[in-house]
Amino acid sequence: SGRLEGKVCVITGAAGGIGAESAALFRAEGATVVGVDLQDDFEGVDLALAADVASEDAVIGFLQRTVAEYGRLDVLFNNAGISPDDDVSVLDTTLEAWQRVQDVNLRSVFLCCKHGIPLLLESGGGSVINTASFVAVMGAATSQISYTASKGAVLSLSRELGVEFARRGVRVNALCPGPVDTPLLRELYASDPAKAARRLIHLPMGRFAAAREIASAALFLASDESSYVTASTFMVDGGLSGA
Ligand code: NAD
């Protein structure tokens, strides 16, 4: 049987590149998947819900709806995130732009953990996967200070929670993808293909990740196969941070 048989999973950003691949993979492994995104017009999940993950009411809403519909929560994959414009110096970063990135990338993870972990505890334990990034552990030189800072904070928050709940059956890990070929990345490099080429030079594998390769790492962290993995910084970056 599947590696997530009987598990109820919430995936945020489920309409996006990594989220949609993860939803497909989780379901193929037997999970029931509630997908959350800004709009609910996407497919490939058991239940699609529209919510802004930066809103506390919205977060409480989709978590309660999940438990009302399926009776439990086992896996919480906090994957939604935004990337601001590339190559904007801190000197030109507005407070508003900074704040929106912190709200969507960081405040959302805090809210989902605050309101989701009690539900995982009620289910007798579970797995939280928070999507950080390679930029959380190394200088990325992308001049995206708000993004980098938000992902660094997601990483430290995840480690802290992993330690706090280690004895109570809730595992919390930070998944750190390298550059992944998704709409987010394509948009970032659309204006300047030379920038993509520069990034590729530094990638030991010489290519970007496919969303599927991040999804399969998420599957491992979601499943009981990773039962001894918590508070980890889980790099899936083609060797980028190791080089
Ligand atoms: P994506 O843009 O394809 O998907 C992100 C999804 O999140 C989109 O469907 C978007 O609608 C949704 N979303 C955005 N704001 C939201 C909000 N406020 N509420 C609910 N949903 C919202 O991007 P992706 O590449 O699949 O990224 C997924 C995660 O992986 C993000 O956290 C991103 O920062 C991270 N990441 C991506 C890369 C990469 O190279 N693509 C690298 C490292 C980390």
Print pLDDT tens along the chain (243 aa). 899 999 999 999 999 999 999 999 999 999 999 999 999 999 999 999 999 999 999 999 999 999 999 999 999 999 999 988 667 888 999 999 999 999 999 999 999 999 999 999 999 999 999 999 999 999 876 668 999 999 999 999 999 999 999 999 999 999 999 999 988 788 878 877 888 888 888 899 999 999 999 999 999 999 999 999 999 999 999 999 998
Q: Enumerate the β-bridge partners of residue 36.
A: 12, 49
Regarding the beta carbon of 17 and ligand 1, being less than 6 Å apart is answered yes
Cα distance between residue 97 and residue 89, in whole Å:
12
Closest-CA residue, ligand 1 atom 17, reads: 52
C-beta separation of 22 from 215 below 8 A: yes
Regarding the beta carbon of 18 and ligand 1, being less than 6 Å apart is answered yes
Regarding the beta carbon of 104 and ligand 1, being less than 6 Å apart is answered yes
Cα distance between residue 47 and residue 88, in whole Å:
37
In sequence order, which residues have a C-beta less than 8 Å from that of residue 15 and are 6 or more positions away? 35, 37, 38, 39, 42, 48
Ligand 1 atom index nearest CA of 53: 19
Cα distance between residue 230 and residue 212, in whole Å:
22
Regarding the beta carbon of 148 and ligand 1, being less than 6 Å apart is answered no
CA 17 to chain centre: 11
Task: For domain 8-227, give the CATH number.
Answer: 3.40.50.720
Distance 57 CA to ligand 1 centre (A): 21
Cα distance between residue 82 and residue 104, in whole Å:
7
**Sheet with 47-50: strands ordered across:** 47-50, 32-37, 8-12, 75-78, 126-131, 170-177, 233-236
The domains of the chain are located at: 8-227
Distance 9 CA to ligand 1 centre (A): 17
Q: What is the pTM of this model?
A: 0.97
If one residue of 11, 18, 185, 212 were mutated to test the ligand 1 pocket, choosing by the most ligand atoms within 8 A of its CB, it would be 18
Closest-CA residue, ligand 1 atom 33, reads: 81
Closest-CA residue, ligand 1 atom 10, reads: 13
Distance 105 CA to ligand 1 centre (A): 9
Query: Is 189 labeled as catalytic in the residue annotation?
Result: no
Place of tokens 């959380």: 136
pLDDT of residue 76: 99
Distance 150 CA to ligand 1 centre (A): 13
Distance 82 CA to ligand 1 centre (A): 5
pLDDT of residue 142: 66
ipTM rounded to 2 decimals: 0.99
Regarding the beta carbon of 162 and ligand 1, being less than 6 Å apart is answered no
